[in-house]
Amino acid sequence: MESSLFFVIFMAAVQGIAEFLPISSSGHLAVMGRLFGFDAETNAVLNIVLHAGTLLAILIYYFKELLAILQKYDFKLVGQLALATVPVGISGLTVKLLGWDESIFNNLFVPGAGFLITATLLLRSRKPEAGKSIDELGCGKSFLIGLVQAFAVLPGVSRSGSTIAAGFKCGLKSEDAARFSFLLAVPAIGGVAFVKLLMLLKNTDSTLHSLGVSYLAAGFIVSALVGYFSLCLLLRLLKRGDFKYFAWYLYFLGLATLIWAITDACF
């Protein structure tokens, strides 16, 4: 059991780092869950709990801004975020209804391909010379960023990396691309976490007994703490606007994961 706790904490630390750096936390968790021998259901639940931890990090970091949005009744920004959330809601619901939500986290081909897709997006992304603010972002471009986020339901496709790259493509300056990306994470991650945790409470016998509430709580806390500091780091890195090192890392990881997947399938 002690080894399981170590694995959960290790995965929580990776989630905290990978959620905000553009390298796909869900892809890393899927690969490590397979490496550590977690079954598909446990891996999917742990993924949601650790994502909820990094959601808490976002809420803490942007607390004043979120409070200001509510106090000022910034309906324009709320509307943009709501519109951009629609595609990921549809894609997430589709995955759930088709019964793919657990299987995609236990299929190494999915994160392997996802890593390669993210790497290509990062290599092609360029910070605009004279970027716009979120106030200048129209509904059409908000929805476009949301469409890109919809593909991040697949492990290996980085939510932060893809939405920030889409923000650059829409002309947003780096700090506003990151701001919109992480504000967009609040309804996206929060909605999925809420639904999954409700399902978890209805099925406590299997999942909670396989890891334990205390282990899940430890993972939640570690992912939140590590995630907060990783978010601070990413915002500093964005000033340079150079994602090529992350891209090369993901190309290597994607190819290694696909080789592992092919080896498993053949032998």
Q: What is the pLDDT of residues 122-131, one digit of tens each?
A: 998 887 777 7
Partners of 132 in beta bridges = 172
Q: What is the mean pLDDT of residues 172-190?
A: 88
> Cα torsion at 20, 60, 224, 80 (round to 10°)?
-40
Average pLDDT along the chain: 85
* Confidence grade of residue 267 (pLDDT, cut at 50, 70, 90): confident
Domain of 97?
A: 2-266
Q: Identify the pLDDT of residue 35.
A: 83
Structure tokens of 75? 């309906």
Q: Identify the pLDDT of residue 205.
A: 53
Percentage of the chain lying above the pLDDT 70 cut: 90
Structure tokens of 28? 């890393």
Higher per-residue pLDDT: 181 or 75? 181
Number of C-beta neighbours around residue 103 at 10 A: 13
pTM of the model: 0.85
Partners of 172 in beta bridges = 132
Q: Identify the pLDDT of residue 250.
A: 96
Distance CA 50, CA 232 (A): 18
Distance CA 53, CA 47 (A): 10
Exposure string of 225-247, with b = 16+ CB inside 10 Å and e = fewer, is: bbbbebbeebbebbeebebeebb
Structurally, the chain folds into a number of domains equal to: 1
Q: Identify the pLDDT of residue 92.
A: 84
Report DSSP letters for the chain, one per residue. -HHHHHHHHHHHHHHHHHTTTTT-HHHHHHHHHHHTT--HHHHHHHHHHHHHHHHHHHHHHTHHHHHHHHHHT-HHHHHHHHHHHHHHHHHHHHHHHTT-TTGGGG-THHHHHHHHHHHHHHHH----SSPBPGGG--HHHHHHHHHHHHGGGSTTS-HHHHHHHHHHHTTB-HHHHHHHHHHHHHHHHHHHHHHHHHHHHHTHHHHHHHH-HHHHHHHHHHHHHHHHHHHHHHHHHHTTT--HHHHHHHHHHHHHHHHHHHHHHH-
pLDDT digits (tens, 9 = 90+) for 221-253: 999 999 999 999 888 887 776 688 899 999 999
Q: What is the mean pLDDT of residues 172-193?
A: 87
The single residue listed with the structure tokens 């709501």 is: 82
Is 205 buried (19+), middle (13-18) or exposed (0-12) by CB count in 10 A? exposed
Q: Identify the pLDDT of residue 193.
A: 73
